[in-house]
A and B are shown apart, each in its own frame.
Chain A
């Protein structure tokens, strides 16, 4: 097992390295805006660029190969991601990024807190009532909610709950007081919009897994030896279904941090998503590099976590599962 984990992590690091190198080279090939252009007091930016090894002391570009080497030794190894050059001029990218991260994580944690129990309950209920009208209602609803893009819910939530009924503010409060009641209240529309898709996803997955387990032969055996239906469901079916469901929840949680980009933008959440979009429109390449690295790591980590937790929970499964057709 340890060997397997090490192998997977090394492979992940290699993949990360290749991707981020590609990103770096492609970004550096772009016509870069000289630091001086932004105003007189860009000495700090210039200083940091020199320290990062992207330009020489006179501000002239140094060869790409050498820049790349400096990028590996200074940025990747010591975590020097540079300062913002057009978005938050002069501020450290990492600091800004870290200040934005709590909002994103909190939003996703809240969404998961809603989605996991609701999704599991709906899925279990549908599986137990398989092919009855309750199941059909839930399955149809799940089908619709899985398919409809999340921004459509966001519009509906924003229009009906925030604008027509005036239950919530239209956008999230600014500021960093994340645990106040009013902040939670203003976050709810975004949380609801995010949770819709996850609830449907969990319900569908749980239903599929549980129906498979419920029709298996060992469950029949459990019934024949005298357990009640509730007992078999709880002790045998659910536990076995959880083997597959639990890793999915973990991976989904990691994945959703990257996936809330559009919701964060709609509700103006002061999080990582808008930062990324702004860094592209403002051509702030240091931010772009940092956030690309962030999203790459999120993707890689959720994949590896899914694989590893399968392996931990059920030692029979040690094969890497591949993301299929997911953009």
Chain B
């Protein structure tokens, strides 16, 4: 056996390659089933993963399509102050009202409150109190009514000061469509609430006449800038436009150079005038009056893009780092491992906070959060790749390729790296829900703030809704549902991917 050991003494220059053929494989002559195709074949077998991927697809389509096509004139006007008149409206659909998706909520009202809403109903003709379920009396003798209240119409009136053009335009629109927006001005004695068009005491409690009807306090004198549009029922001006006791529809303020009109505007129909459609928000509106349906889609789109970007960056850095570590081994590996050991042990919340404190002012909160995710996120990728390299670099086929003259780079990325493709794909898919979850937790805690008029994230929406959990749960419900669906389906999808790429691990959790 001594002869065979002698190879060490042969000088290197005596070796030469037997031929100049490249060390690449020959092409298969038959149809080949590739790695990905094989994995897809196995993935299809897993029913729950298929369902999960359909759900993910729906969520992704929602995030892509809605901001592109479902934006309305309302949701597009991002900094409109009229938003503030349409806050906390409940989810409402046109066709699924029988499911209870009708923008109404059940509330307990005192008799005075009930009258207040009944008055809006009487004046405008819109349903406000949809139903009174029953009543109960409290210990101190008051009567409470359980009523179903329409959040859209019970929104009521507001005073709005219009310029001459706006006033004319609104009147013209009223004439054209026959929808009443401006309601008669009232003699404000005690109460400044625009909803109280009837006799009431200082607290706004209606003083009814003998038959139990409201007594109106419409203004019948003064200038209203020759209002010449729709008049409400019972207005003497209906028969004779010049009648002395006709209702006045505005209070004129300002001097002759710039006249302005203070009008009582019904919010519901004003919305139609302003935005061209009836207010109907599928997911309702939030505390700032923003449409949750489009806002959530925009937030979801941001969260998806953000998470995918991080996943790709981590994949890239991690596989480079892991490949170098695993392939060269030795002292280099030891040093690089210690570095990643230290990085992986920093609590993520501390990293995120430090980046926020240092970088947020310079590069913005989004970038600083992205750097925080990248700083520690690549390590799990690197350790996966490193493990695969350790497992495969000593194998005979690698040795064979090296003997045929394959370079380090070729060995690393053509021969060894593809072995880790499966775990890498699984890993980088599972980064996405992880990032979205961490982002939402950090935003929820108020450590980062991604909210602006043009941008939001799912976590921001959750954080903004938490104050209204008890009173308006719909604000927090949709973002919470979205993120729960996303996490569940991504986990199922990830399991399916793992089973497809590594059939040996099938069924093992974690």
Contacts and interface: CB of A to CB of B under 8 A. Distances in A.
Interface stretch (A33-41, A227-235, A317-325): A317-325
Given A29-B358, A159-B473, A163-B469, A295 B347 contact: yes
Contacts of B483: 149, 152
Nearest to B441: A262
B509 A207 contact: yes
Contacts of B469: 155, 158-159, 163
B136 to A, nearest CB: 17
A147 B491 contact: yes
B350 interface: yes
Contact of A281 (B377, B383, B446, B487): B446
A60 B10 CA distance: 71
Given A19-B345, A325-B377, 7 more contacts: A30-B357, A152-B484, A265-B445, A266-B466, A295-B349, A296-B346, A323-B344
B488 A147 contact: yes
Contacts of B348: 327
B349 A15 contact: no
A106 interface: no
B508 A149 contact: no
B375 to A, nearest CB: 11
Contacts of B345: 15, 19, 296, 299-300, 303, 323
B64 interface: no
26 contacts: A11-B341, A19-B342, A23-B350, A143-B488, A143-B492, A147-B488, A149-B437, A158-B469, A159-B469, A170-B470, A204-B510, A261-B441, A262-B444, A262-B445, A277-B445, A280-B357, A295-B350, A296-B345, A296-B347, A299-B345, A303-B345, A323-B345, A325-B380, A325-B427, A326-B380, A327-B377
B422 to A, nearest CB: 15
How many chain B residues sit at the interface, stated as a range, is 35 or more
Nearest to B381: A325
B346 A19 contact: yes
A292 interface: yes
Given A15-B345, A299-B347, A26 B487 contact: no
A57 interface: no
A178 interface: no
A88 interface: no
Given A23-B354, A26-B354, A146 B347 contact: no
Interface in B95-139: none
A9 interface: no
Contacts of A208: 508-510
B484 A148 contact: yes
A151 B353 contact: no
A23 B357 CA distance: 12
Interface in A190-236: 204-205, 207-208, 212
Contacts of B476: 155
Central interface residue in B353, B446, B447, B462, by most chain A CB within 10 Å: B353
Interface of B: 341-342, 344-350, 353-354, 357-358, 373, 376-377, 380-381, 383-384, 427, 430-431, 433-435, 437-438, 440-441, 444-447, 462, 466, 469-470, 473, 476, 480, 483-484, 487-488, 490-492, 508-510
Nearest to B357: A30
Nearest to A12: B345
A18 interface: yes
A297 to B, nearest CB: 10
B380 A149 contact: no
A281 B346 CA distance: 20
A258 interface: yes
Contacts of A327: 348, 373, 376-377, 434-435, 437-438
Nearest to B380: A325
Interface string A148-177: 110110010011000100000010000000
A151 B492 contact: no
B484 A146 contact: no
A322 B344 contact: yes
Contacts of B349: 261, 276, 295
A56 to B, nearest CB: 25
B346 A147 contact: no
A41 to B, nearest CB: 27
Contacts of B350: 23, 292, 295-296
A144 interface: yes
Nearest to B439: A327
A288 interface: yes
A15 to B, nearest CB: 5
Interface string A128-154: 000000000000000110111101100
Nearest to A324: B380
Interface in A289-327: 292, 295-296, 298-300, 303, 322-327
A155 B480 contact: yes
Contacts of B381: 325
A223 B431 CA distance: 43
Contacts of B358: 26, 29-30
Given A258-B347, A296-B345, A324-B383, A204 B509 contact: yes
Contact of B431 (A11, A29, A322, A325): A325
B351 to A, nearest CB: 9
Contacts of A147: 433, 484, 487-488, 490-491
B445 A292 contact: no
A206 B202 CA distance: 67
A23 B380 CA distance: 22
Task: List 5 A-B pairs, minimum CB-CB distance, nearest first.
Answer: A325-B380, A147-B487, A147-B488, A295-B347, A327-B348
Contacts of B438: 327
Contact of B434 (A277, A303, A325): A325
A151 B444 contact: yes
B120 to A, nearest CB: 28
A30 B344 CA distance: 24
A144 B488 contact: yes
Contacts of A212: 508
Interface string A7-19: 0000100010011
A309 B346 CA distance: 22
B509 A18 contact: no
A224 B358 CA distance: 66
A322 B354 CA distance: 24
A295 B344 CA distance: 13
Nearest to B470: A163
Given A143-B492, A295-B350, A149 B440 contact: yes
Nearest to A300: B345
B446 A152 contact: no
B341 A205 contact: no
Given A149-B484, A292-B347, A18 B447 contact: no
Central interface residue in B344, B446, B490, B509, by most chain A CB within 10 Å: B509
B358 to A, nearest CB: 7
A177 to B, nearest CB: 26
Contacts of A281: 446
A141 B27 CA distance: 49
A27 B355 CA distance: 10
A327 B346 CA distance: 10
A30 to B, nearest CB: 6
A296 B351 CA distance: 11
B317 to A, nearest CB: 14
A233 B384 CA distance: 35
B488 A148 contact: yes
A163 B472 CA distance: 12
Contacts of B431: 325
Contacts of B446: 277, 281
Nearest to A16: B345
